[in-house]
Structure 1
Amino acid sequence: TGEMLGFVMEKMMHEGARDVFFTPIFMKKNRPAYRITVVTDEEHMKRMEELLFINTTTIGFRYRKEKRHVLNREIVDVKLPEGVVKGKKVDFEQESYIYPEYESLKSLSEETRIPLKELYKRFQREV
């Protein structure tokens, strides 16, 4: 059920998954289902396996190792008239980019009652 999927996603994120998402698919005999994709580090694989078997009806899964490239990042404060928002500053070649931290933007939105998308626009103008 949707509740079970939400529950297992929360558990996985809390216990080491970098990301979890669901894709609606059709299985053999045209049966609707959801594919669960879990992105995690190798050290958390065993726990993710346990969570899948304990909390879903799956009886097997596939996995593969992938390489990951990440940009160096630095946390910076961006001052808006409404308050300070944390952002991630990354550099790629000769360019720098600053992206807002979701939780920081969300907190300011809840505090000021300004819609999240409006604060996002204001953040983009400041950087």
Structure 2
Amino acid sequence: MMIHENTEACIRIKDLRLRTYVGIKEEEIKNKQDILLNITIRFDASDAIHSTEIEDTLNYRVITKQIIAFVEDNQFLLLERMTHEVLALIMEHKEVRFAEVEIDKPHALRFAESVSISLSATRQAQ
């Protein structure tokens, strides 16, 4: 019996809590707010599963540091724009086949825990 091994790996970054300026109201423009990011990244791990070298895999620490710097050093009027920019940053890594970014803005609505926007992208096979 032949077994076909699926080497597509899935990285999930859960509940990455950052502070940034997001919104259109005066208080949102003047004061940083908490946001919560949940990110899914799919990539081919065929080299990594047979290796012990960080160079043979997608380094999620590097990606996370880029996201933190980008989000915390910028100001956003719209949650949609921030989500799109974070997704674009992830997709700059050529190894990424698929990524999904969901960003929650806690307490954005009076009776809701949070409001979130989610976007995804898929790299076309070449």
Which TM class, normalised by the smaller chain length? under 0.3
The structure with the greater share of residues assigned to strand is 2
Q: Provide the TM-score with structure 1 as the length reference.
A: 0.28
- Structure 1 or 2, whichever has the larger Rg, is 1
Structure showing greater relative contact order (alpha-carbon pairs closer than 8 Å, 6 or more residues apart): 2
Q: Provide the TM-score with structure 2 as the length reference.
A: 0.28
